Amino acid sequence: MKPVALVEGRGVPLGRSDIDTDQIIPSEWLKRVERTGFGRGLFSEWRDDPSFILNQQDFVGAAVLVANARFGTGSSREHAVWALMDYGFEAVVASSFGDIFRNNASKQGLVIVELAEADVAELRDLIEKNPRMVITIDLTRRTIEVAEVAWQREFAMSDTIRERLLNGWDDIGLTLLHEDDISTFETSYDRQHPSAAAQFSAEATS
């Protein structure tokens, strides 16, 4: 994962609540075995509508998606995060997020900013008034700011996720620092709890 400390860019206000991961990336896109190229599928059913906000010239090249309540609920598909990032989004601002989506985002470096519903609405209004204004998200200070209108809010982000994003750490590498702990646990656990799935290996054909 690439380290991320600062997101700077224009925003897109997408005020619908309950944008589930099926909307973010419809299931027809999930058949692909690659990790790239999902940007074309982002909100693909809505993008058929020429008036959809991502089709408006003002919002081309934006980096911050400003949504509403319960963004990214539903399916665990990490493809939703890949699609947002492949399209060019570096951060999503909303008043709440689906747990699995939030987790997936943290593994890929998509910055999740959770603000009070009124603050998110304010930010959407500001963007609608001036789509060109620049939003700055500073992970070190845990702030989101629109300097030209002196609008600033702090947001919560766990130390664990912030450290990981700032350093671009790979989770697997971090976990394998505990290889000895895993092996010790595993050896004793296996004795008491042998794998239940293993017995089916002989029955399988592939």
The CA distance from 73 to 76, in Å, is: 8
The CA distance from 206 to 201, in Å, is: 11
Strand duo 11-13 + 64-66: pairing: parallel
By CB under 8 A, tell whether 203 contacts another protein: yes
By CB under 8 A, tell whether 118 contacts another protein: no
CA distances from 5 to 9, 63, 156, 164 (A): 13, 14, 15, 10
By CB under 8 A, tell whether 26 contacts another protein: yes
Per-residue contact flags (x/-) with another protein for residues 78 to 117, judged by CB under 8 A:
xx-x--------------x-xxx--xx--xx---------
Q: Shortest Cβ distance from residue 11 to another protein (Å)?
A: 20
Are the beta carbons of 135 and 155 closer than 8 angstroms? no
By CB under 8 A, tell whether 172 contacts another protein: yes
By CB under 8 A, tell whether 199 contacts another protein: yes
Are the beta carbons of 142 and 150 closer than 8 angstroms? no
Q: Shortest Cβ distance from residue 149 to another protein (Å)?
A: 26
The CA distance from 93 to 105, in Å, is: 12
What residue ranges bind another protein (CB under 8 A)? 16-18, 20, 22-23, 26-28, 30-35, 45, 69-70, 73-79, 81, 96, 98-100, 103-104, 107-108, 158-160, 170-172, 174-176, 178, 181-182, 185-186, 189, 193, 195-201, 203-206
